[in-house]
């Protein structure tokens, strides 16, 4: 029997709407949208506390570390400040991601090979607190191997390029995703995926070998403007079954 794929709902862009007015507006209420997501079937909430604090704020991390009714997954750059915050508030998962101030969204995967020692130290520190660690990487076999070597619990494959590509390029990217997923599983790493997924691509990503979890945000927030948060997430849960 095929196992159910976990859905993590990323609520960053709920906070984006709030922060458009400098964070002075009390709406949309982040915790309310979290609860709607969980009511619709999400089993994890994902937030990315960026250095530039363009959407999620430190007080959101504090609030959700206390009141999130399901697992909290903190996306974070591997910086001393963020490691300290993760160590203090102890989310169930931390996902290490690359981060550039000028980017509109996360543009690619973390270069684990280039920063192995720093990543390894951060992983060891947080795992000692009982936090599980995933690394957001491109579907690259060398990066998968490096993720294993630094002690990660999981890899989350960047699906953004696959979503946008057409034709032969899309097929080639899918092959890379499959090969990387198989290697990750063979090394004992959990296989996660995310970035740019909509209903159509969520239907396809289910075919990725050994996939256990997807994290989806921007699309669901956009759908929520038409349908409401509960119906948007509920449909995604159905798609992933």
- Give how far Cα 28 sits from Cα of 20, 69, 102, Å: 11, 19, 25
* Ordered structural domains, the chain, with CATH: 6-240 (3.20.20.70)
What is the model's pLDDT at position 106? 54
Active site residues: 48, 75, 195
CB of 207 within 8 A of CB of 162? Answer: no
Query: Is residue 224 over pLDDT 80?
Result: yes
pLDDT in tens, 139-182: 999 999 999 999 999 999 999 999 999 999 999 999 999 999 99
User: Cis omega before residue 33 (within 30°)?
Assistant: no
pLDDT category, 3, cuts 50, 70, 90?
Answer: low
Closest CA to 151 of 108, 189, 115: 189
Q: Which helix (H) or strand (E) holds 179?
A: helix 167-186
pLDDT in tens, 94-133: 999 997 655 545 567 999 999 999 999 999 999 999 999 9
What is the model's pLDDT at position 114? 95
| Mean pLDDT computed over every residue of the chain | 94
What is the model's pLDDT at position 23? 80
Q: How far apart are CA 187 and CA 56, in angstroms?
A: 33
pLDDT category, 22, cuts 50, 70, 90?
Answer: confident
**Overall average pLDDT of the 69-89 stretch:** 97
Query: Is residue 211 over pLDDT 80?
Result: yes
Task: Look at the pTM and tell me if it is higher than 0.85.
Answer: yes
**Overall average pLDDT of the 33-54 stretch:** 96
Token digits of residue 135: 């690394």
What is the model's pLDDT at position 108? 76
Closest CA to 53 of 94, 88, 81: 81
Q: How far apart are CA 48 and CA 220, in angstroms?
A: 16
Q: What are the beta bridge partners of residue 190?
A: 154
What is the model's pLDDT at position 1? 39
CB of 209 within 8 A of CB of 3? Answer: no
Please give the share of the chain, as a percent, with pLDDT higher than 70. Answer: 95
Q: How far apart are CA 31 and CA 103, in angstroms?
A: 27
Query: Is residue 29 over pLDDT 50?
Result: yes
What is the model's pLDDT at position 239? 97
Helix 80-89 and helix 58-67: axis angle, to 10°?
A: 30
Closest CA to 134 of 98, 108, 95, 97: 95
């Amino acid at each position: 029997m095929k196992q159910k794929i976990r859905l993590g709902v990323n609520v960053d862009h709920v906070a984006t709407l709030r922060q458009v007015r400098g964070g002075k507006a009390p709406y949309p209420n982040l915790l309310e949208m979290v609860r709607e997501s969980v009511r619709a079937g999400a089993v994890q909430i994902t937030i990315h506390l960026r250095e530039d604090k363009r959407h999620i704020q430190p007080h959101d991390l504090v609030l959700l570390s206390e009141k999130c009714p399901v697992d909290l997954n903190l996306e974070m750059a591997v910086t001393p400040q963020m490691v300290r915050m993760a160590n203090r508030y102890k989310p169930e998962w931390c996902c290490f991601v690359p981060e550039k101030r000028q980017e509109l969204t996360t543009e690619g995967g973390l270069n684990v090979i280039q920063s192995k020692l720093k990543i390894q130290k951060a992983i060891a520190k947080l795992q000692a607190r009982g936090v599980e660690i995933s690394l957001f990487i491109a579907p690259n076999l060398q990066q998968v191997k490096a993720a294993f070597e630094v002690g990660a619990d999981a890899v989350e494959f960047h699906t953004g390029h696959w979503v946008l590509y057409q034709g032969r390029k899309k097929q080639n990217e899918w092959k890379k995703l499959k090969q990387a997923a198989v290697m990750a599983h063979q090394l004992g790493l959990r296989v996660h995926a995310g970035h740019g997924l909509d209903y159509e691509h969520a239907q396809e990503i289910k075919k990725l070998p050994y996939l256990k979890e997807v994290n989806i945000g921007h699309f669901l927030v956009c759908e929520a403007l038409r349908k409401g948060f509960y119906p948007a997430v509920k449909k995604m849960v159905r798609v992933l079954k």
